[in-house]
Amino acid sequence: MKKSLFFSLLIVCTAIQTLVAQQEPRYTMYMYNGLLHNPAYAGRSERLSIDAYYRNQWVKIDGAPKEIAISGHTALTKKSRFGVGGYLEYDQIGVHQRFTLGGAYSYRLQVGPGTLSMGVEANILHLRSNWNDVQVNPEGNNDDPLFQGNQTAWLPNFGLGLYFNTQAFYLGASCPRLLQNQLYADGTVGNAKEFRNYFFTVGGVIQPMEDFALKPSALVKMVPGNAPIQTDLNLNFIFRKMFEMGGSFRFDSQFVPESANLIALFHYKDKYRIGYAYDFTISQLQSYTSGSHEITLGIDIGGTKNRYKSPRYF
């Protein structure tokens, strides 16, 4: 009972910290769908790209984060400089539930051997905190005013992003939510508000031979002054343009490993993608969780066989 109570309170405290600072969900397979953190990614391909994600983090710990997302984006017309996209995202941690609906618009310019995209997005977040579900003592009596009653909020926002890519390289920077909205107008949860989460990505494909390629990538997430810097370093191996296998490490601000991650993905007929990632926790939570699971499904619609001779790797 004491252990269960302790971890329930731990998750609630973590949830509050997440809401205050690290509000953006994180995905191990972020490299397959940049739209979830960068509006400039919209229209990356002339085809309509649709992706779905499910993430179950820290299995066996009650109240641990869970995320579901679906997104789609495309260029407006063939060879168009304009791209559009949208996404719907749901995540839950502890007693907090969030629905985010966003739309993105991008403008692309030819710069040297690559394309520079500038993107803007508008989004709205619906936040619900079920404080009545919190058990603050073994008897179940919630005598703390903070944990009495439920709260909801609607928070409109907008974001900006830049994305440069060639056929074999990409580089991105973004901030999906620029406004620092107060989470609850009545101020019952202290000064909790939305903080700006900044994302920086880089990656590419190195192909030393016809049926084998390397795909290194990295993501850095920053919430200046309000949360530790998170860094993901990835390396995938691509076989026969169909199978991807690899792994990554996630580090905290002191570059101490937080998790070691395994990734596997299958491309079918240059259209369909299905991927799975397993995160092995190596932080202090290792003794209490069996790790995290993540699944992604994707499809690219349109195009011609002559134009698309290999899968969309990023």
The string of DSSP codes covering 85-112 is: EEEEEEEEETTEEEEEEEEEEEEEEEET
- pTM for the model stands at 0.85
Nearest-angstrom CA–CA distance, 72 and 42? 8
Q: What is the CATH T-level fold of the domain 2-301, as seen in this structure? A: Porin (2.40.160)
Nearest-angstrom CA–CA distance, 276 and 170? 23
Query: Which segments in the chain show pLDDT lower than 50?
Result: 1-22, 306-310
Nearest-angstrom CA–CA distance, 161 and 223? 16
Long-range contacts of 33-36 (CB under 8 A, 24+ apart): 33/71, 33/296, 33/298, 34/163, 34/172, 34/201, 34/314, 35/71, 35/73, 35/85, 35/87, 35/104, 36/69, 36/71, 36/87, 36/89
Nearest-angstrom CA–CA distance, 42 and 222? 22
| Per-residue pLDDT tens over the stretch 15-62 | 444 444 446 788 999 988 899 999 999 988 778 999 999 999 988 888
